[in-house]
Chains A and B, each alone.
Chain A
Amino acid sequence: MFVGPFMLVFALVFLAPIAYSLYLSVFRTQMVGGTTFVGLDNYARAMQDPQFWEGLWRVSLFLVVQVPIMLGIALLVALAIDSGRLYGKSFFRISIFMPYAVPAVVASLMWGFMYGTRFGLVGNLNDALGISLPDPLSPDLVLASIANIVTWEFVGYNMLIFYAALRVVPHTLYEAAEIDGASQWQVVRAIKLPAIRGALVIATIFSIIGSFQLFNEPSILQSLAPNAITTSFTPNLYAYSLSFSGQQYNYSATVAIIMGLITMVIAYVVQLRGMRKEA
């Protein structure tokens, strides 16, 4: 009786959409011919779909490069603020966290404008300094440009997670280390990092999910760089294009389900690894 309302909400909000997506994914609706049951055909098609795999490869690359950079910066900032040696630490804490409060759409628009080589910041720099910076929205650089936006947005968020974890480390440990003559660097390596391992794992898992779900930033920048950001740039963008421009709801649901499964598996592996070391 007690869990009844919870189960009801859970079923409606979590299970129903997944069940509906699964249901959609085993059909095919054609403009000519209507809807037919096709079993696992859509899954077979996704397995051989180069556009899907290219998108997955792109977000994987993004994950491997951007996430360590972002978490590294976040960790450095958190340690710096926590060390207590920084003047005006609440100012730094707030200003680094601030970008997280900017909606992703606004952030992308803002950066997109700065990236402009004609009237944007890049264009102004080129004019002012008489140089010719490469176009950040060209096909070769656009992924890095998106990584830059995402890093800007989420360093503060991750920093706050790490900082919160650091705050609860008992100060007696530091004092003991100081008596033993440990350097600051040794304190960080031997006390602080092990103490916040849980927070590191959580932040990593969030970042993995975020990378695989990359959508807002490329979707907004697409209008500025339509040739560099294709409709299948990331798996999520691909699912969106399939569904909304192509009316391929069934295949779109399939792509979404496969992406969900892959994300789950990788997040689970990371969690297992992270927790095992902790034990």
Chain B
Amino acid sequence: MTARPDLSRRVLRGTAAAGVLALALTACGGGETESGEAAQDADAALAEGGEITVWAWDPTLASVAADFEAENPGVTVTLENVGTGNDQYTALQNAIAAGDGVPDVAQVEFYALPQFALSEAMTDLTAYGADQLDGTFTPGPWGAVQQEGGVYALPTDSGPMALFYNQRVFDEHGIDVPTTWEEYVEAARTLHEADPDAYLTNDVGDAGFTTSLIWQAGGRPYQVDGTEVTVDFSDAGTQQFTSTWQTMLDEDLVAPVGSWSDEWYQGLSDGSIASLVIGAWMRGNLESSVPGAAGDWAVAPMPQWESGAEVTAENGGSSLAIPAASENADLAWAFLEYATVGDGIATRVAEGAFPATVAELEDPTFREEEFDYFGGQAVNEVLADSASQVAEGWQYLPFQVYANSIFNDTVGQAYVTDTTLTDGLATWQDQTIAYGEDQGFTVDP
């Protein structure tokens, strides 16, 4: 990876900010002085060396860990993949409950972070000056790692949404790239009528996709204030989503194929699933997992709810956090900083990760890179623009992992029975509220 001038500049700026921060906070007195000291402790820990364990499934972290070890002799980073997503949270939750075998750094998706932050299972990184990183990350990911004035993780990648579509299939059937959801539904009809085996997209009920579309439509079903929680799927944004998507379901315009299944990859490869509205990380996933369709795919901005608008949402995205039970938190922070705001970014971007940092997203080299897979399109430009258009004010529940786990029990029924999406969402809301109350939250519908 070539060194990029703007990157080193940004790192310098960051260092300066940290220095100022240390001074400022020392002056504040009281508990606040720990901030500066903690950052210095990290430097000391780095010099001293030691061993940390990282639980992550992100493949690009392997090179980051190797580089980090090479730069800091005496430091050993053990990278363990204990499962993707929910599997890892289960393992992590169990380790934290047992108080034993807890890693020093853990990859946590944005939607799952509040759960760990609320129970103080993760270290508040403001002690290390993480709060001074405001502006380093795009608003979506940066908002996602903050809880109650604390910063509980740093974003590694983000998932601003865009329309990935199969240009070959679109051309074949004379379909224009839809710019609104209305046009999207129309395109779905045209394609499915022209070729009954082909669908514009697939969906069997996916909590992340549904909440992201509601997010884009302006719905804010979750409001969280400490342990006071509101769950309300009746606002205008939610209704806008359900009416459109109900049409897609009623007219059988979505392929009944679950994402990440073998059938899904086959569909993406042979063109029978002709588009996906999905997070920017799909770029790397298409390249590596759907090699058969190289040259077919292209990327366009996310379809809009209102013609001419430029509003997007996040879909997925991960962060790295330091469990409170970590025995080597200072060294863990040093690694975290390296991987998320230091040289680790460049390594990860080179391996296909979609960054969450403003500097990378605005970097001309990054934006103008042409991808052979996408027929030479400068895909990152579209994706980076989406990152800056993410609607603000979205919150996930402090028990989102559980809520998502019962999505198919409730909303999923709309995909296989006569239940409507609206009814399914109402049931989801009821069961989510019941769980929240059972867990001691104050929940309002």
**Which of A191-199, A203-211, A220-228 has 4 or more CB atoms under 8 Å from chain B?**
A220-228
For A246, the closest partner residue in chain B by CB is: B402
Question: How far is the CB of B347 from the nearest CB of chain A, in Å?
Answer: 32
Q: A interface, how many residues as a size bin? A: 20 to 34
CA distance A244 to B97 in the complex (A): 12
Q: For B417, what are the chain A residues with a Cβ–Cβ distance below 8 Å?
A: 139
In the complex, B2 has a CB within 8 A of chain A: no
Secondary structure type dominating chain A contacts:
loop
The answer on a CB contact under 8 Å between B263 and A118 is: yes
In the complex, A90 has a CB within 8 A of chain B: no
**Which residue in A33, A224, A244 is a CB contact (below 8 Å) of B258?**
A224
B 387-445 contacts with A by CB, 8 A: 398-399, 401-402, 405-406, 408-409, 412-413, 415-417, 435, 438-441
CA distance A278 to B76 in the complex (A): 68
**Which residue in A119, A241, A247 is a CB contact (below 8 Å) of B93?**
A247
A 10-45 contacts with B by CB, 8 A: 30-33
Question: How far is the CB of A234 from the nearest CB of chain B, in Å?
Answer: 13
CA distance A227 to B227 in the complex (A): 31
The answer on a CB contact under 8 Å between B86 and A245 is: yes
Q: B interface, how many residues as a size bin? A: 35 or more
CA distance A248 to B409 in the complex (A): 18
Q: For B359, what are the chain A residues with a Cβ–Cβ distance below 8 Å?
A: none
B 275-305 contacts with A by CB, 8 A: none
In the complex, A236 has a CB within 8 A of chain B: no
Q: For B258, what are the chain A residues with a Cβ–Cβ distance below 8 Å?
A: 223-224, 226
CA distance A119 to B255 in the complex (A): 13
In the complex, A274 has a CB within 8 A of chain B: no
In the complex, B177 has a CB within 8 A of chain A: no
**Which residue in B412, B413, B441 is a CB contact (below 8 Å) of A31?**
B441
CA distance A32 to B296 in the complex (A): 50
**Which residue in B204, B261, B405 is a CB contact (below 8 Å) of A241?**
B405
In the complex, B257 has a CB within 8 A of chain A: yes
Question: How far is the CB of A101 from the nearest CB of chain B, in Å?
Answer: 25
Question: How far is the CB of A224 from the nearest CB of chain B, in Å?
Answer: 7
Question: How far is the CB of A25 from the nearest CB of chain B, in Å?
Answer: 15
Question: How far is the CB of A233 from the nearest CB of chain B, in Å?
Answer: 9
For B262, the closest partner residue in chain A by CB is: A119
Instruction: Using A119-B262, A227-B413, A227-B416 as known contacts, say yes or no to A31 and B406 having CB atoms under 8 A apart.
Output: no
CA distance A246 to B86 in the complex (A): 11
CA distance A172 to B438 in the complex (A): 68
**Which residue in B205, B266, B439, B441 is a CB contact (below 8 Å) of A226?**
B205
For A119, the closest partner residue in chain B by CB is: B263
In the complex, B349 has a CB within 8 A of chain A: no
CA distance A31 to B403 in the complex (A): 14
Q: For A224, what are the chain B residues with a Cβ–Cβ distance below 8 Å?
A: 258, 261
20 further interface pairs, Cβ-Cβ under 8 Å (given A244-B90, A246-B402, A246-B405):
A31-B115, A31-B398, A31-B399, A31-B439, A31-B440, A32-B118, A32-B227, A32-B440, A116-B263, A118-B267, A119-B263, A119-B266, A226-B204, A226-B412, A227-B205, A227-B413, A231-B405, A231-B408, A245-B405, A246-B435
Minimum-distance CB pairs A-B, first 3:
A32-B440, A227-B412, A30-B440
Residue pairs across A and B with Cβ atoms less than 8 A apart, 18 shown, are A30-B440, A31-B119, A31-B399, A32-B439, A116-B263, A118-B263, A119-B262, A138-B416, A226-B258, A227-B412, A227-B416, A230-B408, A245-B86, A245-B90, A245-B406, A246-B435, A247-B93, A247-B402
